[in-house]
């Protein structure tokens, strides 16, 4: 028995109400009182918050016990057991719709009353635990979904959820950007580990916002390197323009940050467009990644660039030259690809409407 379980009674016959009260007290329950109408039992249930309500189906006034029970269980999460002298199918079927925690027929049997109350209290406790566990599972599911969406693109998450695996895919033309910081080793050597992580976290969080605003995919970070792709997993025709626009915003953010920051971060960035294969690798820790010569060239463009500049290949230049002012920056010898002309992106054209 629930220790000192409190019970509120709704019964329109005073003699029966008194008899039930005495029986309940003898059984060790705390009887909070009895009322005669549906309106009163609702008000008292809200005020007293009993552990259980014994509800006569037929009450005084316009509101039936069934209507009052529905309100009490839905609004206050208090279990209700029906008291009734009515055994006809119509009434019982109507009462079942409210999903009470038990029935006690009048005139009541003490053992039946006791067992019905104990069962009702136990069932309500189990329901509360089940609801709490369900809520916890839903919260865990939400957190898991948020985590996997932070790791994988939304389209890839849907494919994984629907099919259970990710099929590798070829892209004939996408754009990749690599970035890293000039003098990172020197800066990291004089910063406390916590300060270094906080610095990178502050910068990369802003980079994430810029990338998201342009509809691009952050592939990964490796130390101080930040790798971005445009045109996948959903193919778009303006992937190069979006990546270069994001690159300029990232450089602008660092320039503004360096004005007030004691640590002056100088970033190089390299951008190339071309063919890649994309897919998910790993079993326990998924990673969405891309492979191909395009990736290697973008990385090399970053390494051969200059701090504060966006270094792009001639392939990317052909895709963005109508939108950005660029200047030639020598050429890059790529094994298996010959010489590749490079360009620095100066600014975005202000096109008049």
**Are residues 270 and 335 located together in one domain of the fold?**
yes
Is there a domain that residue 301 lies in? yes
Q: How many CB atoms lie within 10 A of CB 286?
A: 16
Is there a domain that residue 105 lies in? yes
Contact 204, 226 (CB under 8 A): yes
Is there a domain that residue 182 lies in? yes
Nearest by Cα to 14 from 34, 30, 44, 37: 34
Is a pLDDT exceeding 60 seen at residue 1? no
- What pLDDT digit, counting tens, does each position of 296-338 carry? 999 999 999 999 999 999 999 999 999 999 999 988 887 766 7
Is a pLDDT exceeding 50 seen at residue 267? yes
The pLDDT value given to residue 317: 96
Arithmetic mean of pLDDT, 214-227:
90
- Predicted confidence band of residue 211 (pLDDT cuts 50, 70, 90): very high
**Are residues 283 and 199 located together in one domain of the fold?**
yes
- Predicted confidence band of residue 141 (pLDDT cuts 50, 70, 90): confident
**Are residues 251 and 336 located together in one domain of the fold?**
yes
Is there a domain that residue 37 lies in? yes
Q: What string of H, E and C letters represents the secondary structure of 235-299?
A: CCCCHHHHHHHHHHHHHHHHHHHHHHCCCCCEEEEEEEEEEEEEEEECCCCCEEEEECHHHHHHH
**Are residues 231 and 314 located together in one domain of the fold?**
yes
Is a pLDDT exceeding 80 seen at residue 187? yes
Mean pLDDT of the chain: 87
Phi, psi of 174 (to 5 degrees): -135, 180
**Are residues 100 and 48 located together in one domain of the fold?**
yes
**CA Rg value for the chain:** 35
Q: How many CB atoms lie within 10 A of CB 225?
A: 15
- Measured in whole angstroms, the distance separating CA 144 from the mean position of its chain's CA atoms is 7
Arithmetic mean of pLDDT, 99-124:
84
More confident residue, 35 or 163: 35
The pLDDT value given to residue 278: 85
Domain span at residue 94 reads: 6-132
**Are residues 300 and 185 located together in one domain of the fold?**
yes
Query: CA–CA separation, 32 vs 321, rounded Å?
Result: 82
End-of-domain residue from the set 132, 151, 179: 132
Arithmetic mean of pLDDT, 80-96:
69
Residue 31 is part of a domain; what is its CATH number? 3.40.50.2300
- Predicted confidence band of residue 99 (pLDDT cuts 50, 70, 90): low
More confident residue, 334 or 150: 334
More confident residue, 102 or 97: 102
- Measured in whole angstroms, the distance separating CA 107 from the mean position of its chain's CA atoms is 54
Bridge-based pairing state of the strands 338-348 and 324-334: antiparallel
Give the number of domains in the chain.
2
Is there a domain that residue 145 lies in? no
- What pLDDT digit, counting tens, does each position of 120-129 carry? 899 999 988 9
More confident residue, 17 or 339: 17
- Predicted confidence band of residue 353 (pLDDT cuts 50, 70, 90): very low
**Are residues 175 and 121 located together in one domain of the fold?**
no
The pLDDT value given to residue 95: 58
Is there a domain that residue 70 lies in? yes
Nearest by Cα to 250 from 223, 274, 216: 216
What percentage of residues in the chain have a pLDDT greater than 90?
Answer: 53
Residue 182 is part of a domain; what is its CATH number? 3.30.70.1230
**Are residues 326 and 249 located together in one domain of the fold?**
yes
- Predicted confidence band of residue 215 (pLDDT cuts 50, 70, 90): very high
**Are residues 119 and 224 located together in one domain of the fold?**
no
pTM: 0.63
- What pLDDT digit, counting tens, does each position of 45-63 carry? 999 999 999 999 888 988 9
Contact 57, 91 (CB under 8 A): yes
What percentage of residues in the chain have a pLDDT greater than 70?
Answer: 88
- Predicted confidence band of residue 285 (pLDDT cuts 50, 70, 90): low
Arithmetic mean of pLDDT, 24-41:
94
Is there a domain that residue 142 lies in? no
Is there a domain that residue 35 lies in? yes
**Are residues 84 and 173 located together in one domain of the fold?**
no
**Are residues 184 and 308 located together in one domain of the fold?**
yes
The pLDDT value given to residue 89: 62
End-of-domain residue from the set 132, 158, 193: 132
Arithmetic mean of pLDDT, 228-238:
90
End-of-domain residue from the set 112, 132, 152: 132
Is a pLDDT exceeding 90 seen at residue 30? yes
**Are residues 118 and 257 located together in one domain of the fold?**
no
Nearest by Cα to 243 from 201, 280, 210: 210
Nearest by Cα to 71 from 44, 35, 91: 44
């Amino acid at each position: 028995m629930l220790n000192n379980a409190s019970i509120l009674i709704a019964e329109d016959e005073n003699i029966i109400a008194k008899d039930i009260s005495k029986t309940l007290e003898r059984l060790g329950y705390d009887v909070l009182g009895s009322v005669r109408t549906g309106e009163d039992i609702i008000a008292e249930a809200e005020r007293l918050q009993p552990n259980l309500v014994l509800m006569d189906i037929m009450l005084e006034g316009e509101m039936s016990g069934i209507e009052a029970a529905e309100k009490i269980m839905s609004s206050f999460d208090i279990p209700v057991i029906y008291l009734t002298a009515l055994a006809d199918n119509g009434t019982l079927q109507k009462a079942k719709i409210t999903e009470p925690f038990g029935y006690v027929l009048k005139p009541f049997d003490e053992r039946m009353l006791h067992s019905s109350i104990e069962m009702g209290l136990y069932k309500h406790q189990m329901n509360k635990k089940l609801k709490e566990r369900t809520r916890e599972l839903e919260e865990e599911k939400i957190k898991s979904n948020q985590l996997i969406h932070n790791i994988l693109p939304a389209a890839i998450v849907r494919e994984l959820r629907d099919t259970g695996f990710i099929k590798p895919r070829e892209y004939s033309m996408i754009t990749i950007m690599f970035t890293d910081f000039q003098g990172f080793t020197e800066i990291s050597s004089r910063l406390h580990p916590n300060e270094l992580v906080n610095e990178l976290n502050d910068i990369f969080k802003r980079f994430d916002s810029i990338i998201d605003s342009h509809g691009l995919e952050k592939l990964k970070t490796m130390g101080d390197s930040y790798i971005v792709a445009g045109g996948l997993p959903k193919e778009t025709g303006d992937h190069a323009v979006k990546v270069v626009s994001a690159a300029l915003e990232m450089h602008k953010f660092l320039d503004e940050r360096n004005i007030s920051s004691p640590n002056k971060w100088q970033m190089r960035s390299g951008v190339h467009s071309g063919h890649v294969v994309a897919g998910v690798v790993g079993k326990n820790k998924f990673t969405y990644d891309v492979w191909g010569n395009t990736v290697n060239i973008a990385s090399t463009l970053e390494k051969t660039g200059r701090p504060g500049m966006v270094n792009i290949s001639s392939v990317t230049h052909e895709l963005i030259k109508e939108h950005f002012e660029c200047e030639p920056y020598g050429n890059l010898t790529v094994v298996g690809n010959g010489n590749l002309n490079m360009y620095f992106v100066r600014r975005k054209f202000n096109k008049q409407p």
